[in-house]
């Protein structure tokens, strides 16, 4: 199966967050990042394939969510006061497994989990 996907939910509206820019990076042993891809969430707030099963390797990755831009474009109150680009670092220990890494975001904070 393999691969990497994400989902962004707008906690203020209680709905998916469309058109959120996301970038994915691989992190080497020295902590330096290598850019891999950029995508935008669809109308359901999803990116179904940030990395294909072929691209998945064991190691450390980061997804950067440009959530500040999203809330600013929505005109959400407080959008420019705290969150901007949210980097999420995680480990892939089994590249044959599918990794789904969503966030639930508001201008003042976010949460994440290892989805399915």
Q: Where are the domains of the chain?
A: 4-112
What CA–CA distance (Å, rounded) separates 54 from 47? 17
Q: What is the pTM of this model?
A: 0.94
Annotated binding site, which residues?
Answer: 7, 46, 113
Give the per-residue pLDDT at 43: 98
What pLDDT shows up at residue 103?
98
Q: What is the pLDDT of residue 76?
A: 85
Q: What are phi and psi of 86, to 5 degrees?
A: -105, 110
Could you list the residues known to form a binding site for substrate, using ranges.
7, 46, 113
Q: Which fold has domain 4-112?
A: Immunoglobulin-like (2.60.40)
Q: Determine the pLDDT at residue 99.
A: 96
Model pLDDT, residue 81: 75
For the chain, residues with pLDDT lower than 50 are none
Could you count the other beta carbons within 10 Å of the beta carbon of residue 67?
Answer: 24
pLDDT for position 20: 98
Report the pLDDT value the prediction gives residue 46, as an integer from 0 to 100: 98
């Amino acid at each position: 199966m393999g691969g990497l996907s994400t989902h962004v939910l707008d906690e203020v509206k209680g709905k998916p967050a469309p058109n959120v820019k996301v970038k994915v990076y691989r992190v080497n042993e020295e902590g330096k990042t290598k850019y891999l891809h950029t995508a935008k969430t669809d109308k359901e707030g999803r990116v179904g394939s940030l990395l294909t099963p072929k691209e998945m390797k064991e190691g450390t990755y980061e997804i950067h969510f440009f959530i500040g831009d999203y809330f600013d474009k929505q005109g959400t109150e407080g959008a420019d006061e705290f969150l901007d680009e949210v980097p999420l670092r995680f480990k892939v220990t089994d590249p044959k497994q599918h990794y789904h890494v969503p966030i639930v975001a508001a201008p003042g904070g976010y949460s994440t989990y290892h989805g399915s």
